Amino acid sequence: MSIPSWTYIEVVMRILVSIVVAAGIIASVLLSGSSLLSAEATAEATVVESSAPVPSEENVSVVISETSTSAVAATSGIAITSTDREAATGRWGLDRIAVSAAWDSVSSFRPVLVAVLDTGIDPNSSIANRVKAGIDFTGGGNTDDEHGHGTHMTSTIAAIAPNASFINLKVADARGRCDSLTVAKAIRWAADRGVQIINVSLEVEPSDELSSAVSHAWQMGAIVIAAAGNGGTTTPTYPAAYVNAIAVAGTNQNDGLTVMSNHGDWVDVAAPGSTINAEIPGGEFGNETGTSPAASHVSGVAALLYGVALDVSGNGFVNDEVRSAIEENAMPVAIDGLGSGIVNASTSVLAIAA
Distance CA 180, CA 205 (A): 6
Q: Cβ(172)–Cβ(202) under 8 Å?
A: yes
Identify the active-site residue in 292, 299, 340, 346. 292
CA count, 13 A, side-chain hemisphere, 59? 14
- Is residue 118 among the annotated active site residues? yes
- Is residue 179 among the annotated active site residues? no
**CB neighbour class for 316 (10 Å; exposed up to 12, middle 13-18, buried from 19):** exposed
- Is residue 149 among the annotated active site residues? yes
Identify the active-site residue in 84, 136, 149, 346. 149
Nearest to 322 by CA among 339, 344, 296, 304: 304
Identify the active-site residue in 50, 68, 118, 296. 118
Q: Cβ(198)–Cβ(224) under 8 Å?
A: yes
Distance CA 62, CA 269 (A): 34
Distance CA 45, CA 25 (A): 32
CA–CA distances in Å: residue 120 to residues 142, 155, 166, 276? 8, 12, 11, 19
Nearest to 91 by CA among 155, 24, 172: 155
| β-pair type (46-48, 131-136) | antiparallel
Distance CA 300, CA 196 (A): 12
CA–CA distances in Å: residue 22 to residues 34, 66, 91? 22, 51, 35
> Would you please indicate which residues are annotated as catalytic (active-site) residues?
118, 149, 292
